[in-house]
Structure 1
Amino acid sequence: MGAGQYLPPLFSVAPMMDWTDNHYRTLARLISKHSWLYTEMLAAETIVYQQGNLDRFLAYSPQQHPIVLQIGGSNLDNLAKATELATAYGYDEINFNCGCPSPRVAGHGCFGVRLMLDPKFVGEAMSVIAANTNVPVSVKCRIGVDDHDSYNELCDFIYKVSSLSPTEHFIIHSRKALLNGISPAENRRIPPIKYEYYFALLRDFPNLKFTINGGINCIDEVNLALKEGAHGVMVGRAAYNNPWSVLGHVDSEIYGAPRSGLTRRQVLEQYQIYGDGILGTYGNNRPNVRDVIKPLLGFFYSEPGNGLWKRKADAAFQHCTTIKSFFKETLVAIPDTVLDSPITEAPAGRQDLFANTKGLLPPPYERREQEVAYA
């Protein structure tokens, strides 16, 4: 396919392990036609060692474009082979994970955010990935790791990776990662956000593209970031926990498309067709009804009947064997006014989100050319 066929990634949904699977991406695309969707991180080893079962991990419907595959790993041979195998599936971009602080990732074979401490390797990895695909490549990273959290260290990473590889796009989670003693959830909350680092990167690397990530929770705040000069905005858990309110405004408020008039009932009717068609296709009763319904658990966020619907869902999981029967049993909890109303006005966001950023910008980065070759 190729990224050039689609509108630019002004808005994207973050890759989230155990969350942004095929089911969620199907739901997201039913709501928004233009959002850029990322897969869960797939380890290069998984792709290489599952060559006889790749559809389970890499297949998706054509409607999910534009879609980005995120891969992780620390073995160049496996990264090369995994990219080669994935290229046949026609993803629009390949993204390399240098930002996940999960012990399952960062603590195993130097995956994830630990790689920020080795920019020379990341540059080599990105070169290998780029050599085995015909689509753009990108890196998702934090602004630092543990005590390696100065702006100059972040710039060293960006400069070295972009100098040693064809990488021109970086997704910047504007928090550093703490690798010892706190959980991934705490890593999304405890380290302070430093948006000033992101906006300084725009200043110091005008030939690169940067997407901002972290702490942006609604479309109003996305537009505020874009007005401040962000090349693109990535939203994570807000787009999962409240997909209707967040994704439902992307096409009209971010990309300027006419409002679709889409209702929740129409989305559910299409999702039911998808869900009943995929049940059990992986074998051993997977995916099951609970798997397919999981992305919908925030679909009625803060709406009348939401609590009752969730209680009915818990009961229905015990015996429903089709999505149709699940909806028949549970949707009686949701008023018709909720099911049949199109998306309402976008909620207001925090107007002071970037208020002090310009005054906090660090001094301009001074490139140290000689360090690139010896990083």
Structure 2
Amino acid sequence: MVIARYPPPWFSVAPMMEWTDNHYRTMARLISKHAWLYTEMIAAETIVYQKGNLDRFLAFSPEQHPIVLQIGGNNLENIAKATQLANPYGYDEINFNCGCPSPKVAGHGCFGVRLMLDPKFVAEAMSVIAANTDVPVSVKCRIGVEDHDSYNELCDFIYKVSSQSPTKHFIIHSRKALLNGISPAENRTIPPLKYEYYYALVRDFPHLRFTINGGINTVDEVNAAIKEGAHGVMVGRSAYHNPWNLLGHVDSAIYGEPPSNLTRRQVLEKYQVYGDSVLGKYGQRPNVREVIRPLLGLFHAEPGNSRWKRKADAAFMHCTTIKSFFEETLFTIPDCVLDSPVAEAPSGCTDMFTKSKNLLPQQYRVREEELLYADF
């Protein structure tokens, strides 16, 4: 149903806590019409306990389609209720978080990436989600957790979840997670990337769909991954910190659309209308700083960028509208930057996936004990 309405998810922006909020997604959609957007992870308990205030957490504009809701949790009853409460908002897919290594989530909360150690529960959760929605469901996970990082263990997880639930789409962050002693930021850099695990999954589970995630920063790298057989590519922080030079090329370089000739000034004019319409919608929130935050990477590496950010810091102290904020700060950015369409896409490393495909682990074979748990 989703594929018929929208282009395939060849490119998606990763769910990022406190980053991929409604403000960021509004800006992202102004730049790219086809990128698939994900919400921040929203705990099932938050949705259930905020039943009378759901718009604040779940509402989005129709322009944000295609959009995926990511939920997290470890209580099947709350997961079911959260799915039911989210249905009226019309998300295009519901994704379950099995990849977040934050101590708040994987530690005390006992969900996120820690759930990879309990594939039976994940399968139950996915069955519950699927039973309470009409849209596709998916899982976002890592390639392993702590010492449970062999390719066979990853395959066991994929096999159990996919055979015991309707899950047919997995987003694979190609690093394992370390839960003891390192931060979420370090979990994005210290464990080595193993793209060979991802491509081996594509080989060994031809009936499933896999999206690759982790360490991919440019459109060149996205296309290189797809050329080597990736079903889709998810990009995180590069899409946030440098949205113009990444998202600005998605529609043309990945989806084959003609160049749009869109300019930053046009994006800002439309974003101003949105921003001023939402300020103070929930009492004191959102404020000018929160609405402007996704724009802070819009002039990445451009003349005037540093001065603009300094002016922004001062303007946050007293500006009460997005219009007044722009009037006080945008003069620092040259007209040639504001009025130029997207330039040539930054180049990236394009051979890393070819090299990884030369390192594929041995083909996965389902063990007899795993077959006993399969639900065909």
TM-score by length of 2: 0.98
Q: Report what 2:198 is aligned to.
A: 198
Q: Name the SS of the counterpart of 1:38 in structure 2.
A: strand
Give deviations 1:50-89, integer Å, cap 9, x for gaps. Answer: 1000000000000000000000000000000000110111
Q: Give the superposition deviation at 1:278.
A: 0.2
C-alpha contact 1:171 1:211 (8 A) present in aligned 2: yes
Q: Which amino acid aligns with 1:186?
A: E
Q: Report what 1:353 is aligned to.
A: 352
Q: Name the SS of the counterpart of 2:89 in structure 1.
A: coil
Q: Report what 2:218 is aligned to.
A: 218
C-alpha contact 1:276 1:323 (8 A) present in aligned 2: yes
Q: CA RMSD in A?
A: 1.0
Q: Distance in 2 between matches of 1:6 and 1:292?
A: 28
Q: Report what 1:209 is aligned to.
A: 209
Q: Give the superposition deviation at 1:352.
A: 2.4
Q: Distance in 2 between matches of 1:214 and 1:60?
A: 27
Q: Give the superposition deviation at 1:369.
A: 4.7
Q: Which amino acid aligns with 2:183?
A: S
Q: Report what 1:307 is aligned to.
A: 306
Q: Give the superposition deviation at 1:354.
A: 1.8
Q: 1:25 to 1:215 in 2, by over 3 A?
A: same
Q: Give the superposition deviation at 1:110.
A: 1.4
Q: Which amino acid aligns with 2:173?
A: H
2:292 is the counterpart of 1:289? no
Q: Name the SS of the counterpart of 1:184 in structure 2.
A: coil
C-alpha contact 1:142 1:176 (8 A) present in aligned 2: yes
Q: Name the SS of the counterpart of 1:107 in structure 2.
A: helix
When the two structures are aligned, how many residues end up with a matched partner? 374
C-alpha contact 2:276 2:322 (8 A) present in aligned 1: yes
Q: 1:291 to 1:370 in 2, by over 3 A?
A: same
Q: Name the SS of the counterpart of 2:253 in structure 1.
A: helix
Q: Report what 2:365 is aligned to.
A: 366
Q: Distance in 1 between matches of 2:36 and 2:134?
A: 18
Q: Distance in 2 between matches of 1:3 and 1:86?
A: 20
Q: Give the superposition deviation at 1:355.
A: 3.6
Q: Which amino acid aligns with 1:362?
A: P
Q: Distance in 2 between matches of 1:254 and 1:2?
A: 19
Q: Name the SS of the counterpart of 1:88 in structure 2.
A: helix
Q: Name the SS of the counterpart of 2:351 in structure 1.
A: coil
Give deviations 1:328-371, integer Å, cap 9, x for gaps. Answer: 00000000000000001111111222242122100000112532
Q: Which amino acid aligns with 1:314?
A: D
Identity %: 79
Q: Give the superposition deviation at 1:374.
A: 5.0
Question: Within 5 A, what are the aligned runs for 1:112-131?
Answer: 112-131=112-131
Give deviations 1:17-72, integer Å, cap 9, x for gaps. Answer: 00000000000000000000000000000000110000000000000000000000
Q: Give the superposition deviation at 1:3.
A: 4.5
Q: Distance in 2 between matches of 1:2 and 1:228?
A: 25
Q: Name the SS of the counterpart of 1:97 in structure 2.
A: strand
Q: Report what 1:87 is aligned to.
A: 87
Q: 1:326 to 1:192 in 2, by over 3 A?
A: same
